[in-house]
Amino acid sequence: MRTANIACARSTAIKGAGLRRTALPALLACALAVPAIAAPPPARPAPVPNADPTFPFSNEVEAFAKANSASTPVRDATLFLGSSSIRLWDIAGSFADIDTVNRGFGGATTAHVLHYYRRLLPPVPPRSVVVYVGENDLAAGATPDAVSRDILALLKRLRADYPRAAIAWLSLKPSPIRWTLWPKMAQVNAAIAARAKRDGFSYIDVGAVLLARDGLPDASLFRPDGLHMNARGYQRWTGLVDDWLDHAAPTTGARPNAS
């Protein structure tokens, strides 16, 4: 490109009568040597702003906040809190005789729930709380001890904020695709169950109902991904939780939490 420009300059520098004869061809040559200016690319639509770019799920959590402000607060509802096992559960249809609030978001670990904690809560205190979280923690490589500590921290926080609510933690479930994690899940389940009475919450074993007679996860209760339950699997969970709700009563006060 620099050579072409120099040649153009030399051609247009010719003086005298020859200028009229050479100027036009020189100018044409210069025009041909200059590349066409490309049209600017079309503007892309602005991305959806992320309320908290350091963490995933923030847009999903913002949707919970919008739902809180867009509807009349539900009193004496049961709050379902946790990961995709909560999100994919047809809570409203499964518990049609009570008011419910679903605050499950897919892929969530206990750390995610703790991070977004305040934005996950309904506008008014719930009558009861059902929690399922911890499975994704183990799948991401956390140790059973670390997972247990985080779960107990979450349950302790819920108990402090809702001293009169009945609170239940659903045990980690066995699934075909994560069966190799079952020994670690069993460790977490045992650790949380041992603290239930002391810390003022209920432990509900929702794993045994998902096992076949051979002791392995019953694949007929799961979706093709081998991880999430289908309607039949959720029906078994619904029966257990519904029975707990029938017998659970709000507490009269928080039990002291020892670390």
Q: Does residue 21 sit in the same domain as residue 118? A: no
16 and 133 co-located in one domain: no
Distance between CA atoms of residues 171 and 129, nearest Å: 14
Residue 16's domain comprises 2-33
Same domain, 22 and 70: no
Structural domain includes residue 53: no
Q: Does residue 203 form part of some domain? A: yes
**Same domain as 64, residue 25:** no
Whose tokens are 């392995």? That residue is: 216
Please report whether residue 44 resides in a domain.
no
| C-alpha dist (Å) from residue 47 to 44, 50, 54, 56, 61 | 9, 9, 16, 15, 17
Residues 64 and 173 in one domain: yes
Residue 73: predicted pLDDT? 76
Please give the chain's pLDDT, 259 residues, in tens. Answer: 444 444 444 444 444 444 444 444 554 454 444 455 556 666 555 444 444 445 667 677 777 777 776 677 788 999 999 999 999 999 999 999 999 999 999 889 999 999 999 989 999 999 999 999 999 999 999 999 999 999 999 999 999 999 999 999 999 999 999 999 999 999 999 999 999 999 999 999 999 999 999 999 999 999 999 999 999 999 999 999 999 999 986 654 444 443 3
Identify whether 231 is part of a domain.
yes
pLDDT score, position 40 = 61
Plot region of 125 (φ>0 → left; ψ -120 to 50 → alpha; else → beta) = beta
In a domain, 95, yes or no: yes
Domain membership flag for residue 82: yes
Same domain, yes or no, for 234 and 135?
yes
Residues 112 and 24 occupy one common structural domain:
no
**Domain-embedded: residue 206:** yes
**Apex CA 127: angle with CA 59 and CA 114, to 5°?**
35
Residue 40 in domain: no
The CATH number of the domain holding residue 62 is: 3.40.50.1110
Q: What is the pLDDT of residue 107?
A: 87
Full-model pTM: 0.75
Number of folded domains that form the chain: 2
Pair 125, 20 in one domain? no
